[in-house]
Amino acid sequence: IGSQMDRVVTEEQWLQKWETGNIGFHKEQGHPLLQKYLDVLLRGRSGLRIFFPLCGKAVEMKWLADMGHSVVGVEVSEQALKEFFSEHTLPYCEEPVPEISGAKKFQCTSRNISLYCCSIYDLSSSLVGKFDGVWDRGSLVAVNPCDRQRYVSLMITLMEKNSSYLLVTVSYDPNKHKGPPFYVPESEIKSLFGDHCEINCLQKVDDFSERHRQWGLDYFLEVLYLLKFVA
């Protein structure tokens, strides 16, 4: 992990990925692990508030809104958010966020979907409220390793008690690929979240593909955790 700890990907580099279509992390059909473990996130409850950190144009935001849940996402790329609405032909209005300089909020007018275009670190519970559930796929593994503690501290302030947080991390040899996505070992999940959450590893999935082979890797796993907020 030491080889990745100093790695920094700038906001401009993320924006460029969207501009050039270099978004291999986006799943057109949605994520199979969310489909499989949706009940674990929802626990039979309706009308939940669900947070998508670093949401991109995740199709699962529409799935959950179609089920009657309220979805809030944050993403630095305005292009990604506009593509989300256009690809699902969802109407929306755009408004400034007075509390955050330069930020915009894209509000769907036919579903309960609010997407903020800004840095995630600009959000606060006073602005967006608290959440019953989080789908964190491609977010913790995308933030710069030096910012992880800051990220987790923010996420904890956004969670209701008894909320469910589904977290997907990736496992591979960090000496062979510099990231992102960054390798986050289970020991680090425990040190980051352990004081506030019960942590259960639900599944490990072999997700190795030609893309990972081109990165120089010989294995690539997705690891799904359920974090339950107890404090």
Q: What's the rounded Cα separation, in Å, for the pair 4 and 2? A: 5
Q: What is the average per-residue pLDDT within 64-82?
A: 98
CB within 8 Å of 8: residues ≥ 6 apart? 144, 146
- pTM for the model stands at 0.97
Q: What's the rounded Cα separation, in Å, for the pair 199 and 207? A: 22
What's the domain count of the chain?
A: 1
Q: Which structural domain range is residue 211 located in?
A: 11-20+29-229
Pick out the residues of the known binding site for S-adenosyl-L-methionine.
14-25, 54, 75, 119-120, 137
**1 lies in some domain:** no
CATH number, domain containing residue 80: 3.40.50.150
Q: What is the pLDDT of residues 147-192, one digit of tens each?
A: 999 999 999 999 999 899 999 999 999 999 999 999 999 999 999 9
ω into residue 174 within 30 of 0, thus cis? no
Pick out the residues of the known binding site.
14-25, 54, 75, 119-120, 137
**152 lies in some domain:** yes
Of 85, 80, 73, residue with least CA distance to 131? 73
